[in-house]
Amino acid sequence: MAVNLHDPAYALEKAIRQSDEYTELKTMYDTVNGDPSAKAMFDNFRNIQLQLQQKQMSGQEITQEEVEQAQKTVALVQQHESISKLMAAEQRMSVLIGELNQIIMKPLEELYGPAQQQ
């Protein structure tokens, strides 16, 4: 008997949208985006984060100046209450998605065994 995996995936999507974690994340996201100064600060933080990730992934060295600028930006956004709450909500959502991913991947992990550390 063939199983349509899309149906439970859509049910999971619906459950995520109804979860406390998602509701809080959306509320905080809307709050930050509704405040022009918070949005600008948050966008700047995300841009710096993305640039550093891209450099790292392409094998380019991140300079000490870039590290210091990123640290200053992180400190600044963490002081903004709405952005700080948004980042905490993002972290909780990330943990939830990680837990769901572990559950979803369990059959493959059992089949192939845990990833070998090298």
Over residues 56-60, the mean pLDDT reads 92
Confidence at residue 3, expressed as pLDDT on a 0 to 100 scale: 81
Please state the three-class secondary structure of the chain as a single string. CCCCCHHHHHHHHHHHHHCHHHHHHHHHHHHHHCCHHHHHHHHHHHHHHHHHHHHHHCCCCCCHHHHHHHHHHHHHHHHCHHHHHHHHHHHHHHHHHHHHHHHHHHHHHHHHCCCCCC
Over residues 42-71, the mean pLDDT reads 92
Summarised one tens digit per residue, pLDDT across range 20-50 is 999 999 999 999 999 999 999 999 999 999 9
**Res. 2 pLDDT band, cuts 50 70 90:** confident
Summarised one tens digit per residue, pLDDT across range 66-111 is 999 999 999 999 999 999 999 999 999 999 999 999 999 999 999 9
